[in-house]
Structures are given as structure tokens and as C-alpha cells.
Structure 1
Amino acid sequence: MITAAVMGLVKKFRYILVTEGLLRLLNTEEIEAVIAHEIGHVKRKHLVFYLFFFTGYMLLSYATFDLIIYFIIYSKPVFVFISRSGLNEAMVISAAFNLVVILMFIVYFRYVFGYFMRNFERQADAYVYVLFESAAPLISTFEKITLTSGQSPDKPNWHHFSITERVEYLKKCEDDKTWITRHDQKIKKSIAIYLVGMILTGGLGYHLNFGETGKKLNNHFFETAIQREIQINPNKSNLYRILGNINYRNKNYEETITAYEKAISLKPDDPHVLNNLAWLYATCEDKKFRDPEKALMLAQKAAELMEAPHILDTLAESYYMNGLFEKAVSTETRALRLIKKDRSHYETQLEKFTKAAKENKNASPPIEYKPFSPAQGR
């Protein structure tokens, strides 16, 4: 091969590679000009910047990971294709994601990384003028390489300017050295723009993964995915349960109730949905959605199906909301017996119920409601 390169990021282990083919082809002055070019790469910290650009790609990938998924999921053509083809949705989404990642990789390295590589090569060419009065030996080197390779000097390259372009630039520098300064300034501005872009990308990545924007997008993403899955499988109760959970987190209480009720109509003996809807009716921050009577009936049904601490806690809260304070105390005590870790919530609840029971010890007991069966409908 007829080539030369600087190898190694760490100074102690860095060396310049000049192949035997190039040594045979060039005279002493031309070899010195090639060495000067490679020294230019070192002095201008190009290898460090290359590492930096690789890191930039990893940051870009991290920041855009969720955006790519959102784009694929929200893309109507993809959804229509999945629906009509009968293919596995996860497989199609995975294939589409990989395709987008590959395209992003090609675009980044072909156009962003390639842009800097081409201009770094030009900057290294111009470094010859730091060590020598003229770039004539480097120009003659390019001409020899053209003759030996048999390729057109105008042939473009993604990481190098064509030999014709490199020679013409060096000749312009021969006539006017300000071209060197102009190019150095161009690279500084380009790096500054790149840094701003990476800072913005990093900020985007942070917000998508740790900020409120990311949480909202995630919720919207899951809601859209579930809604589409419901269109394909409208009789799966767990889909409505998940949709209800998403709406509950988003404080869309009316939609939450609709989703939970649909899940119950499809699977009346699901203790988790019964419990979740009971908790909403008992504790909803929007008081217009509170319904203590329904909460108690649903919670009793859930507790009949599953005796778990969180379900007993909901039942106790429902008793409390209906004024059945002694039952709230006894039920929360049962929940505490079952829970082994993270007992603070249950202990706080028990204190609240006990205090209410003491304060209302002599009050007339309220009417106790019978268990409600969702299968009966409402």
C-alpha cells in the first residue's frame, strides 16, 4: 500500500506509519512533507477529536433512542403494515428500529464525521507550511500517488477531498497564506457548532430519560401502543387494565374509570382491577369522582378474591371513607400482619384509622354495604 498515517492517542505509544511502498515512491523531501502532514494531525489534536466524535455518536444514539421508538410506533404506515400482514408486532418494530439505527449511523459518519475528517486532512496539509517554506514536495507527492494508483485525481472520497482539490488548495496557500488562517477559523467554528449541537442533544437525552418530558412521552407512547393493541384484540381484559393504569397516572380519571369498568366486564374476578377502581373511588383527589359506597363494594369483592396487603389497605380505606372506623382498624391490622417490608404506609394508615375510631367511638354506626359484584353490571 502507498500510504502514511499517525497511530495512537497516547503520546508515549504514538508512532507514524509510512509504508514501504510510499518510501520507494518518494524522494527525501517528499517523505519529509508526508511526515509534516502526519505531525499536523498530532499538533492539531485530530486524533483526540476523532475519539470525541465517536463519543458524540454514542450520545446521539442515547438521546434519540426513545424518539426512534416513538416515531416507529406512531408511524401509521408501520401500524397498517403490521395489522394487514399478520406479522409479529415486536419483530416488525425491532426490524424497523434496527434499520433506522443503521441509517443514522451511516448519515452521522458519512456526513458529520466525514466533514470533519476532510477538513482535518486539509488542515494537516496546510501544516506543511509551519515546517517548510513551500508545499511543493507535498504537491508532487499527490501527483505521484495519482500516477501510481491509476485513479482519477478528481475522484471524490467521503473522508478526503479529491487530490485535485487538495493540490488546488495548497497552491492557493502558496499564493496567499491567509487561506490557512481562514481554514483554521472554519474548523473552530464547525467544532463550536458541533459542541452546541451535542449539548442540546445531551439536554434532550436527559429530558427524555429523566425529565417530565420523557415521562409524558413514555405515557403517551404506552397509551398509543395499548390503544392499537386493543384495536387488534378488543376482548383482552388486561389491556384495559393497563390502559386504566396509564390514565390513572396521567390523572385522566374519567377515562380511568371507563377502562377499569371495561376490564371488569370482561373479567369480573380480577382482584387487581377491582382494587384499583376501589382505590380511585375512595381516594381520588378530584372529589367529584369519589364514591365511597362503590369503593367499599369493589374493595370487598377484591379482598374475597385475594388477601394481599395492598388490597386489604384499600378495603380499610374504603371502610374509613364510609365511617366504619373499627372495621378499618381491624382490616389494616390484618394488612400489617402480612406485610414484611415498607410498612410505613400501613402504619400511618392504621394510626389514622385508630384516631378516627377513638374520636367517633360513641357515634351511631353507619350502614354497612353489601359486597358488590361487577358481573351484575351498573
Structure 2
Amino acid sequence: MFSNILYFIVVILIYNLSLSREGPSYSYTVPALAALWGLYALWCRREFRYLMMRWGLRGHSGAAEGYQRAVGRLSILAVVLFGCAVFFFHLKAVFFHLPGLSGLSSIQGILAVMFFLLHLCTMWYFAYPAYLEVFGLEIERKSYVVSQLRMNVPILFPWVAVSVVYDLIGIIYPSGASALTERLEGSIVFFAVFILVLMAFLPKLIKSWWGCKPFEESDKKRLLEEFLKEKGFRYRALLRWPLLEGKTLTAGIMGIIARYRYILVTDGLFDSLSLEELKAVLAHEMGHARYRHLLLYLVFFVGYAVMSYGMFDIFLYLASGIPFLSEIVASDPDSAGELASLIISLPMLAVMVVYFRYVMGFFMRNFERQADLYSASVMGTASPIVSSLEKIAYLGGRGRDVPSWHHFSIRERVDVLRRFFTEPNLLKRHNRFVVCSFAIYLLCVAGMSYGFNSEPVRKWMVGGLVIRAMEKQVKDQPDNIMVQQGLAMIYHEMGRHREAADVYEMILEKKPDYAVALNNLAWLLATSDDPGIRDNARALKLARAAATIDRSSVVLDTLAEAFYVNGLKTEALAAIDEAISIAKEKKEYYLSQKEKMLK
């Protein structure tokens, strides 16, 4: 499940970074997407057939690891194919242009993620025979696929909730939605507070989604509840977790407040472990609550959100300094095109994978170790948690030496726990290690967030690296309007309005009817804070000239602004209404512009 969290994050990021400018050719796109899925299905079938031929004997020492590796490879392949569908086969445009969905980004996103889920369901369908053979569980194929789906879909609940709420804000209060996306403070506060509320109350929905029910009354259940009460642990309920019909061996905890905190235990684990071993497992889950691990996971997501807010602009500026990319990015000021979007998205994806897979993964593994040692401390000995881990490894068929990016291997966990017998202060030392590591993480995230989002630092970075490279290109290619336009856009973004205006003037001397330069210069003259270049009358003249050549929403927005600053309110409203009527995206921004002009 933890790996799938990472895959879903990548999928959502890929979808959000892509563009949807043109209407898709359904006669090309739909067959291409179907063919993509068909090829994936054939590859899944081949992969698991090969796995069963190689590790056909149940209980083979390498079978469990081979199965997990195959699932991991095919999941990554599904992510790659999703990226191909988005960037090369215009998946986003398919949903964007469906009737009634142009302004509902949440529904579009859900449909896109369902396309990815189709690939995962296909993988699980073909993985079923190998799963039975490797782990020896008796479960129907339909139940296996449905159980995997039910297990993984709640990963998307927070993202769906945020997207739906944002859409509702955009419908009810357009300028409010625009403020949330345009200002770092609004975005982060909205994201953090909303996710915090979801983490508090969502467990009640998830436990119903998973079909979790209370255990039947028994001495074992009664003694476990007495154990939790004796330790002063506050929670809502101890529930049966019907994961893969309850036959897998695992437990978990969810909920950051006691009223909606649930401890989940599968039937397989409940029946296989002794009472003392189950107490040790519950003490491990208590450790996660004791050390606020779920809240710390929220910090990791907010930390990435803060860093990534300014990261895209940084990568865009750096890409603009590369001769090949500068022409791609400069060729369309509003949307650099699918190719440029793909190229600029790659470093974003790389940073995201490194952050979650290695940085957050480091803490997740050490949080698990912290919970293990807490269990040993609560139980007074490491023996129960050690024997439970050994039994889970043996009965679950997963092996003692198979680590993951979010858990140490059973062997590594047991080796550390055995040190608890001779090093009673081991938990305190590990707690200090976790606290110091987290403090270093916070310092690094704060520094990088400041660097990515601080205007002085960004100006220094862009001015020192990108602008010098772009100025050299302009000097080397004096007739290349695309390179000049790219330089002007960066000047504008960096607040160097006078230099930007000079470059646009130079472009218009060579090509007087170039709509992009006319539009961008008009916007500068109408909105700049520099009184030396502010010229409302000429801004209107240039905006009118651009609008006679290009009636896009971007140009009409500039025309409306030019009318507005010249006191022509009626004409401004007519222009912004036309922009809204043809806008394919950023409608919230155009609606906020209209609100401003109505005042």
C-alpha cells in the first residue's frame, strides 16, 4: 500500500503538470489509449507466467521477493504508460473537453486516475494465480482484485476531497479560488488545514469503506481491550480488517484523535498469534500514536508542497536558458506545449520521487523501528514482538530478508530488537536520533522553501544563471524573435519591466503585427508599477491591435485590462466576458478579473 501511495502521487503530479489546450481527435486518441492498455495487459500476463515458471514451487525462498518485484515493476510501468497517455495521447484533453466537465477539474482528475486504476486492476487480475501459488492463500480472483481496489482507493480520498472543495470554491467564489492558487500562503494554509481536518475525521469513512467490523466477543478480544485500557491508550475501537478476506497477516492504526482512532487487525493475524504476541503488535501500533507519526506524515506532505510551489518556476527559468528549450518555451507564452511541459516536468517528478522514496522513506523506516522499540519497552521485553515478527515472516511467506523503502526487513528489525535485551536505553537513543534527524529535515526544507519561493533569491538565481545565458543567445541570434521573446518574458517575471519593454519594442520593430509582443507589451504598459513606462493610452492601442490578430482569452484579458485602466468600464466588461466564454482553463482568474471591474 505504501508503494502505491507513491505511485498515486506521481500520477496526480503528472496529470496536473500536463496541458490541455486543443480538443482531442477521438478517432485517434481512444484507439491509442485502448492499444496502450492492451499492451500492458499482455505484458502483465507474460510477467506473471514467467514468475510461476521460475518460482513455481510454493514456499520457494525467492518466490515472495520475485512476486513483490514483479508487482513493483508493473506498477511503475503503469505509471510510465499513464504519463505517455497524458503527454502523447492527450488523456487530459479527452476529459477536459467532455460536455459539462470543462470547469470541473476534480471530476476530470478522478476520471484520469480511474484510467490508471484500470491498469492496476489489470495487473492484479493477472497476478492472482501467482499470488495463490506464492502465498498459499485461498481466495477467489474477484475477491482478490476487489480487495486490492478497496484497499488502495482510500489513498485518493484526501486528494479528491481537496479537489472537490476547490472546485466548489471556484463555482461559488471565483476570486477566492484564484487567491488560493496564486499566493503561497493561501495554498499552504488551505492544504494543511484541510488535510489536517481530513486526517482527523476520515478514518470513520475509511473503516466503513474497508468493511471493518468489531471482533466477536472472546477471551482474547477482552484481554486485548483490557491491555489497551491498562496502558491508558485512548481509541475508538479494535476492529477486524478484512484485507484479502482477512487472510493476510497485518495490523494498522489510523486516526490522529482518540474519538476517531481505530486499531485494525486481520483475522489471519488475530488467529495466528498468541495473546502476548498480539499485545506486542498492539503496543507497536500504540507507538505510532504515542510519537505522533501520522501528524509527522502531514508535515512531510506540507513540506513538499511548500518546496514544489516555487520549484516549477525555477525549472522553467533554467530550461529557458537552454538554447533548444528556450525556443520551445518562448514559442507560446501561455502554454509552452506538451513537449515543453513534459521536459520541464521531468525534474519535478525526479525531485518528488527522491523526496518521498528516500527522504520520507528514511523516516518511515525509523518510525517503524521506533514503534518496535516502544513495543518492547511497554511489554518489558522484546521477546513478544520478536516472535510475532518471525511468525509473520514464516506464515506470510514473505521471507526475513525482504526489505522495502518504508520498512526494514524482518531480519533487520529483529536484530535491533535483540539489542534491547542488553541495551535498555536503546529506545531513548533512537528517539534522540529521530528527533535530531527531523530537526535537520526541517532546517533543510525551510532553507530550500525560502530559496524556491523567496523573491530576492529567485531573482539572484535567475539573474545570475538564466538571464545571462538568454542575453548571450539574443546577442548571438539577433534575428531570433523567439529567443528575444523568452528573454522579455523572464525580464517581466523578475520585475525588470523597463528591460522587458525594450525587448518587446525591438521585436515589434522587426515584426509589427506579432500578436504576442503586442499583447505582452500592452499588459506591461497598463499594469507596471514603474511610472517611467506606464502608458495607458498606448497600452489600449497595442491591445486593440493584438485583439484584431488573435481573439484568445489571454489577449482579450489584456484588452479588458487596457479598457479598465482607461476608464472604459463597459468595454472592459464586454472584453472580459468574451474571454470567459472562450477560456479553456484559468476561468477562476478571468472571473476574478470581472469581479474587480464590476467594483
Give the TM-score band, short-chain normalised.
Answer: 0.5 to 0.7
Aligned match for 1:214, one of 413, 433, 458? 458
Identify the residue that residue 280 of structure 1 maps to in structure 2.
none
1:182-193 equivalences in 2 (<5 Å): 182-193=429-440
Q: CA deviation at 1:60?
A: 1.9
Q: 2 CA distance for matches of 1:150 and 1:241?
A: 58
> Contact (CA 8 Å) 1:240, 1:263: kept in 2 or not?
no
Q: CA deviation at 1:121?
A: 0.4
Q: CA deviation at 1:147?
A: 1.0
Which amino acid letter does the alignment assign opposite residue 365 of structure 2? R
1:285-324 equivalences in 2 (<5 Å): 310-311=537-538
> Contact (CA 8 Å) 2:320, 2:486: kept in 1 or not?
no
Please report the TM-score for the alignment, with normalisation by the length of structure 1. 0.61
Aligned match for 1:34, one of 281, 304, 309? 281
Q: 2 CA distance for matches of 1:146 and 1:130?
A: 22
Q: CA deviation at 1:4?
A: 0.5
Q: 1 CA distance for matches of 2:311 and 2:374?
A: 37
> Contact (CA 8 Å) 1:118, 1:159: kept in 2 or not?
yes
CA displacement 1:282-311 (0-9 Å, x = unmatched): x979xxxxxxxxxxxxxxxxxxxxxx9534
Q: 2 CA distance for matches of 1:252 and 1:12?
A: 59
Q: 1 CA distance for matches of 2:269 and 2:482?
A: 72
> Contact (CA 8 Å) 2:251, 2:281: kept in 1 or not?
yes
Q: Secondary structure at the match of 2:508?
A: helix
Aligned match for 1:263, one of 505, 508, 524? 508
Identify the residue that residue 170 of structure 1 maps to in structure 2.
417
CA displacement 1:148-180 (0-9 Å, x = unmatched): 122221112110111001001010111111222
Which amino acid letter does the alignment assign opposite residue 296 of structure 2? F
Tell me the C-alpha RMSD between the 2 structures.
Answer: 4.5
> Contact (CA 8 Å) 2:327, 2:482: kept in 1 or not?
no
Larger Rg: 1
Q: 1 CA distance for matches of 2:296 and 2:329?
A: 43
Point out where structure 2 has 5 or more consecutive residues left out of the alignment. Answer: 1-247, 526-530, 541-564, 570-599
Q: CA deviation at 1:242?
A: 7.9
Q: CA deviation at 1:341?
A: 7.6
Q: Does 1:131 align with 2:392?
A: no
CA displacement 1:35-75 (0-9 Å, x = unmatched): 01110111111111111111111112113222222233334
1:77-226 equivalences in 2 (<5 Å): 78=325, 90-207=337-454, 211-215=455-459
Identify the residue that residue 340 of structure 1 maps to in structure 2.
567
Identify the residue that residue 253 of structure 2 maps to in structure 1.
6
CA displacement 1:243-281 (0-9 Å, x = unmatched): 49949964877x97687356325439999789x99xxxx
Identify the residue that residue 43 of structure 1 maps to in structure 2.
290
Cα distance change, pair 214–82 in 1 and its aligned pair in 2 (3 A):
closer
Q: 2 CA distance for matches of 1:237 and 1:193?
A: 43
Q: Does 1:21 align with 2:268?
A: yes
Point out where structure 1 has 5 or more consecutive residues left out of the alignment. Answer: 278-282, 286-307, 314-337, 343-378
Q: CA deviation at 1:222?
A: 7.9
Cα distance change, pair 259–174 in 1 and its aligned pair in 2 (3 A):
same
Q: Secondary structure at the match of 2:406?
A: coil
Q: CA deviation at 1:81?
A: 9.4
Q: Which has the higher contact order (CA 8 A, sep 6+)?
A: 2
> Contact (CA 8 Å) 2:474, 2:483: kept in 1 or not?
no
Q: CA deviation at 1:114?
A: 0.6
> Contact (CA 8 Å) 2:326, 2:486: kept in 1 or not?
no
Q: Secondary structure at the match of 1:5?
A: strand
> Contact (CA 8 Å) 1:6, 1:15: kept in 2 or not?
yes
Count of residue pairs brought into register by the alignment: 283
Q: Secondary structure at the match of 2:420?
A: helix
Please report the TM-score for the alignment, with normalisation by the length of structure 2. 0.40
Cα distance change, pair 16–176 in 1 and its aligned pair in 2 (3 A):
same
Q: 2 CA distance for matches of 1:155 and 1:245?
A: 49
> Contact (CA 8 Å) 1:223, 1:246: kept in 2 or not?
no
Q: 1 CA distance for matches of 2:489 and 2:374?
A: 65
Identify the residue that residue 296 of structure 1 maps to in structure 2.
none
Q: 1 CA distance for matches of 2:513 and 2:376?
A: 84
